[in-house]
Structures are given as C-alpha cells and as structure tokens.
Amino acid sequence: MSNQESCAVLSSFNCDPFVALLNHSSKSNALSALGVDFGQVTSVLIDQDHPVWKESPTYTFIWTLPEQVLPSFRSILEGFPPGIDTLDQEVDLFARQILAAVPRSNATFVTSWALDPAYRALGMQAWKPGIGIRWFLTRINLRLAELFKDEEGVFLLDSEHWLTSVGPGAVNPKLYYMGKIKYNQNLFQVAVSELLAAINGVRGLAKKLVILDLDNTLWGGIVGDDGWENLLLGGHDPKGEAFQHFQKELKALTRQGVILGIVSKNEEDIALEAIDKHPEMILRREDFSGWRINWMDKASNVQQLTAELNLGLQSVVFIDDNPVERDQVATALPEVLVPDWPKDPMHYVSALHNLKVFDQPSITDEDRKRTGSYVSERQRKQVQQSASSIEEWLRNLDIKVEIKAFASANLKRINQLLNKTNQMNLSTRRLTEQEMLAWVEDPSNHLWSVHVSDRFGDYGLTGILSVTVQGDIATIVDFILSCRVFNRRVEHAMLHHAVTFAMQQNQQKIKATFLPTKKNKPCKSFFDDSIMETDGDEYAIVLPIEVKLPADITIIAD
C-alpha cells in the first residue's frame, strides 16, 4: 500500500504489546496502530468525539473478554447463572454500540469471546444448557455472529483458534496481575498475523491462484519413472493418505474462489494420464484452471500461466517440494509468494492452513464457480485457434447477454465487481453496499447487472451498467465489464441497452464522462470507437438514433 493506513485498537485489557507488534509490522504492511487506554471500550464506542475517531482510523479492532463487557457472564463465572434473556440483552447492547461506531472506519474487526485454554469449566456440566459455561459462551458468540451477519464491513475473528494454536501458555497470570496484560507475546503475535490477514482480505490482496508442482507435491514418487500405477497416493499408507488429504484441502479452497494451476517438469501426456486415471486422485483435470507441464524453467512457466489466466503475480502462491525450484521462482519472481515447504507430506495440510493468505470478506456464487469458468475459457481458446476469423469464433461461441434490473440478491457480487474491476471501467467509482443501495433507491438512478453465457458455460454476473436521468439528459455513470468477457461484443450490447433505455425515457441526449486511471485505457478505447461523439474524455450523442444490435449475440434485457 502506498499510503499509511491506521487501526484503532480498543480492548478491555492491556493490549500494549499487541499495539507495539502491530506498529512493528508497519514497514511491510503500511499500517499503524492507534492505541486507546484499556478498559474503555464502551465509552469509546459511544463517544463519537473521542480523540481516536478524530484520527479517522482506516480500521477498528475490538478485543474484549466476555466477563468485562457482559455483567451477566461475570455472574456465570462466579457460579450465579442469570436469566438467559438478561444475557441476550447485554449482548444486543454491546453489538449496537459497535454498530454505532462502524461508520467511523472502513472495516471493523471484533474478536469472538473465549475462555482461557486451561479453564476446565465444570467438566461434565460444561455444556449443560442453562448451566454450563461453555454452553453460555457458545450462545453469546452465536448471537453476536447473527447480529453482525448482514452488516457490511463488520467481521468476527475467531480468537478461540488463536488460543488453541498457542496452548495453555497463552495466558500468563503473573502478567495479568502485575499489568493487566492478559496474554503472552506468542499469542499477541498470532493475533497480529490474523488481523493482518483479515485486513489484507478487505484490501483485496487475498491470493487467488495456487500453482503446484506434481511429483512429491500432489503425490509421492516420480510419475515419469514410476508410472502412475505406482504413485504413493491414498490407500493405507500414512504418507499416501497425507498426499490425498492435501488434495482434499486444495479442492476445498477452489470452493472459496481460489483457483489451481500446475507447473511441473514432466512429459505432459504422462502427467495428465496420472491425473485422469489414478483412482485415488481427488483433483482431476477439470479442477485445474491451467498448466505448464514441460521441461522449461519453472519461473518462466509460472509467469506465462499467470498471464494466461489474466492475473497478476502478486496473486500467486507457488508450492513445490524442491527447495532449488522454490528458490529459483522466488528469486526470479519476487511478487510471487513462495512458502518454505515441509519435507514430510504429513505436514502439508497444516502448512497450507498456516499461509493465512486466502481470507476474503465475502464469497459469492461467482467465486465458487471460478474454476469452472477458467476450464470453459480453455475450451473457448481451443475453438478460437481453429476459427478462421474473430467473427467465426464469436458465431461459434453463441454468446447470450442477459441484462437485468438491479436486484438486492445480487448486491454482494455487484459491489464486488464495482470495487475490483479496473480495466473496462468508465468512472472507477467505489461504493460500499449501503452507499450503492442508497444510490439505487433514488428514482432518477437506474442500475442493471449483466450476465453472460455461451455454449461452453455461464460466466455469471460479469458487468454493471448504470444510468442517471436528469431533465432530458441520460448520463452513463457506471460502465463496468470483467476482463473475462470484453472484446466479445458484450460491451456493445451494454451500450445498445443504455441508448435504447434513454430513448424509451424520451431523453434528448445520452452522455458519459471517462475518468482516466492507470488501468482503464481499454474502456476509453471502446468509447472512442463507439457510436458516441467524442470530445476528449466526454462522450455524447443526440437522440433518437438507430442503434444496431451486435451481430452474433443474443440479448435478453429487462
């Protein structure tokens, strides 16, 4: 990040070590911590004039102990279970106080409530409804999660996981009695790394592509020497089971929008045969968005595959069991994350989980379908290579463009596309979900989502078109299209829809203003070549006018 961001840290105990560690990370993460005296969480949340809010923090981090913000939970620890309604009301009040402060920063991170790892919680009574401490703790965490589930920009972080990862030593009673410092340095370090992973997710810096070696990475053995029938994978062998478990975890990542690729020094037909035929393979050919299986150096292959998938190198994680290959890629492509990888495959799954680079603020249906969309794109390119012209290729694709009026069910995906698309983007404006809803509610504003499919599959929601009407002039505000589908005349269908809508509204003119960035030149090129008259970055056309439908595309429009 080029500009320093800040994070307000509110806590019910002494978090000075945490603040210091967060500030220490500022060089690599462009983030500074704004510490607040501990024990003042509620008073700071409800006081919009508190000095920390004058600093306009980019993020807010709230870390509390349940007994310090919920009087009823303190009573539970003292052996006096309260009425459940009273406890619920206290959780609701705490959530309202947090939500009141949410607009003061871009994102708010709240830790879930947890007990000390060594706390036994009455043994057999721990989970007894209405009595057990674990039962009460789970209840209040679930209630807090439900209260936040529809709130954009509020994220509940799992502090129980932090404590479990460090173990009983995470809590140092002596530090607490002497300075009200609840946890040791190791726990604070874990908390900082988890918070930074969440912040990077909000920043849009989550990794999107995992590129994998094959031999001794996805399976045990060398397929070219051993043959696919003799690879170590699955079965009753501990290491074979570990390789298979690793594949299962990678498959789970694809359901969260992460895509997989292969870069391996092998004969392609032999390697693909193993992927297709080995009965214990979890990952099959259709689970990989692309591959480079040859004898070239791996850095070149990583670079080419990443470019083919239309991603930046900063989006890539490269996993290889061979330290020499890892070093070559890391040296040649410093933007790529190349983690040290354990020698023992039985540690592969934990190594994958410890990367902490896949956190995302939300996961849409389009994210879950991403691998399938790349597989379809590979098929489209094969058709393109056999076509004699662009026109023939487009005819063979049988593209359908469906333009739908705004629906709240698509809000998350629309907002994601609005805030992440850079190339085919007219104004590159950024809005929160609430700001977008407020804009759409104005009757002079109109917004459509653009859905694209062809004979190979469904691209999903890949475009946004919005128009505002003032007097007798219609203005295109947002003209956004994913790079996956532009140059396929989808953009022409969108402009056709905008002009047709303006004429239906009896407008005398439709116009658009291009706001240049470093990345949106493709959008200007399209408007320069469109039917609209150009005056620098201003575009307009007098209505009515005959607008021809793009050839070879079927348009279904609201």
- Provide DSSP, 74-135: HHHHTT----HHHHHHHHHHHHHHHHHHGGGSSEEEEEPP---TT--TTGGGTT-TTT-HHH
Give me the residue label for tokens 């699955």. Answer: 234
**Other Cβ atoms within 10 Å of 286 Cβ, number:** 12
Instruction: Please state, in angstroms and as integers, the Cα–Cα distance from residue 118 to each residue in 124, 170, 327, following that order.
Output: 16, 9, 42
Is 80 exceeded by the pLDDT of residue 20? yes
To which H or E segment does residue 451 belong? Answer: strand 445-454
Query: Among the residues of 387-508, which ranges form H helices?
Result: 390-397, 411-420, 433-441, 490-504
- Higher-pLDDT residue of 257 and 341 is 341
How far is it, in rounded angstroms, from Cα 171 to Cα 176?
A: 8
CA distance linking residue 96 with residue 92, whole number of Å: 6
% of the chain residues with pLDDT over 90 = 73
Q: Are strands 509-513 and 533-535 parallel, antiparallel or unpaired?
A: unpaired
Query: Using one digit for the tens of pLDDT, what is the confidence trace for 303-323?
Result: 999 998 888 999 999 999 999
- Nearest-angstrom CA–CA distance, 93 and 99: 10
How does residue 546 score in pLDDT terms, banded at 50, 70 and 90? Answer: confident
Residue 2, pLDDT > 60, answer: no
| pLDDT digits 0-9 by tens, 374-399 | 777 777 776 677 676 777 877 888 89
Model confidence at 448: pLDDT above 90: yes
Q: Confidence class of residue 27 from pLDDT cuts 50, 70 and 90?
A: low
Q: What is the pLDDT of residue 204?
A: 86
Residue 90 and residue 100 in contact, taking contact as beta carbons nearer than 8 Å: no
Convert the pLDDT of each residue in 164-183 to its tens digit. Answer: 999 888 998 999 999 999 99
Helix (H) or strand (E) segment spanning residue 8? strand 5-11
Local confidence band at 111 (pLDDT 50, 70, 90 cut-offs): very high
Residue 89: φ, ψ to 5°: -65, -40
Give the lowest-confidence range in 62-66, 150-154, 422-426: 150-154
Which three-class secondary structure state does DSSP give residue 403? strand
What pLDDT, on the 0 to 100 scale, is given for residue 473?
A: 96
Q: Looking at residues 405-426, what average pLDDT do you find? A: 91
**pLDDT, position 310:** 83
- Calculate helix-pair angle for 323-332, 298-308, nearest 10 degrees: 60
- On whether the CB atoms of residues 385 and 392 are closer than 8 A, the answer is no
Question: What integer best gives the mean pLDDT of the chain?
Answer: 91
Q: Where are the alpha helices (DSSP H) in 255-389?
A: 268-277, 298-308, 323-332, 348-353, 365-368, 370-386
Position 512 scores a pLDDT of 97
Confidence band, pLDDT 50/70/90 cuts, at residue 26? low
Average pLDDT of 240-248? 97
- pLDDT of residue 1 exceeding 60: no
Tokens of 492: 């022409």
Whole-number Å distance between alpha carbons of 257 and 26:
29
Q: How confident is the model at residue 556 (pLDDT cuts 50, 70, 90)?
A: confident
The C-alpha R_g of the chain, in whole angstroms, comes to 27
Say which residue the tokens 């969440």 belong to.
198
pLDDT at 29 over 90: no
Dist CA 19 CA 6 (whole Å): 11
User: Is it the case that residue 428 has pLDDT exceeding 50?
Assistant: yes
For residue 41, the surrounding DSSP H or E stretch is helix 41-46
